[in-house]
Amino acid sequence: MIPSNLLIINYHKIEKKSDIGLTARHPEAFKRDLDTLVQEGYTTINFHHLKAQGKLPAKPVIITFDDGYLSFYDVAFKELLKRNMTAVVYVPVNYIGKSNDWDVQLGYKKYAHMTAQQLQEIAEQNFEIGSHTLNHKYLNGLSDSELEKELGESKRMLEEQTAASVISVSYPFGKYNKNVLKLSQKYYDFGVQLMPPFFRDSPDNKLCLQRINIYRTDSAATLKKKLSYSNYKLLIIKNRLIQQGAWATILLKKMRGNK
């Protein structure tokens, strides 16, 4: 069901000014990224296309945006529309029309989020709106009832506010565990994450699909490298081997009685 050559890439803010986490992509760099995707023969789809199980383009790519920042509406939306592209916007529902504060403690600036009306406008252009939970909490530490709220209630409220069907979820901070996956399955067809590849439970689980993060510092060359699927697969395998190697070394040392 998930095509083996599907790429999912991720952005946060599209801003001229940099931020501490280096996730704010400069608008000019973002435009260049989109042009690179076109030049390399990629066609954007979203999870609604995957769910419909129709014929997919030869080189499908899903572009996701976490956090539902206003910069998506102001910059990215227009640039995507110009190129006939689609994308998925992941929204923390309790921040719709407000500014974020979940990472302000870490020294981050406050950023505005899109309003319900802007989200509706985006959905009307056949973009996908997905859940980024209610409050952008770290899900692994929550009880089942809190998790139900963050996952189930966010979907219900988002569908009500945007008049669009919500079929995918992005886990805050990209992190999840088995319990999060189990409960997500009740509400969503697809889930996306940002954990290092060697932490993945099951690479083919459609509720924890891996994404490629695009950072402030990515150049046209590093973007192309990240897009190259064979390299990406190799990177995953390499990371896994390094990780397994690290464990093997620890075990061997223990068996030999070394530190």
Residue closer to Zn ion, measured from CB, 60 or 92: 92
- The least distance separating Zn ion from the CB of residue 251, rounded to whole angstroms, comes to 36
**Which residues, other chains included, contact 250 with Cβ-Cβ below 8 Å and sequence gap of 6+?**
none
Nearer to Zn ion, 67 or 128 (CB): 67
Report strand pairing: 60-66 vs 43-44.
parallel
CB of 100 vs Zn ion, minimal distance in Å = 9
Give the list of residues 6+ apart from residue 134 with CB closer than 8 angstroms, or none.
92, 93, 94, 149, 150, 153, 154, 157
Is the Cβ of residue 46 or residue 100 nearer to Zn ion in the bound state?
100
- Of 197, 101, 183, the closest CA to residue 140 belongs to 183
What is the distance between the alpha carbons of residues 205 and 214, in angstroms, rounded to a whole number? 22
Q: Collapsing DSSP states into helix, strand and coil, what is residue 103? A: coil
| Nearest distance from C-beta of residue 172 to Zn ion, angstroms | 5
CB of 8 to Zn ion, least distance (A): 15
Please identify which residue in the block is written with the tokens 């996908």: 128
Assess 150 for contact with Zn ion (CB under 5 A).
Answer: no
Residue 102 or residue 224: which is nearer to Zn ion going by CB? 102
Query: Least CB distance from residue 203 to Zn ion, whole Å?
Result: 22
What length does the chain have? Answer: 259
Q: Are 123 and 164 in contact (CB under 8 A)?
A: yes
Q: Shortest approach of Zn ion to residue 147 CB, angstroms? A: 17
Coil, strand, or helix at residue 196? coil
Q: Which is nearer to Zn ion, 66 or 150 (CB)?
A: 66
Question: Which residue's CB is nearer to Zn ion, number 42 or number 151?
Answer: 151
φ, ψ (nearest 5 deg) of residue 130: -120, 165
Distance of CA 94 to the CA centre of its chain: 18
Q: Sketch the per residue contact string, 41 through 80, with Zn ion: x for CB under 5 A, - otherwise.
A: -------------------------xx-------------
Instruction: Provide the minimum distance between the beta carbon of 212 and Zn ion in the complex, in angstroms, as a whole number.
Output: 16
Given the complex with Zn ion, which of 66 and 218 has the nearer CB atom? 66
Token pair listed for 224: 């192309």
Residue of this chain nearest to Zn ion (CB atom): 66
Interface contacts to Zn ion, rule CB under 5 A: 66-67
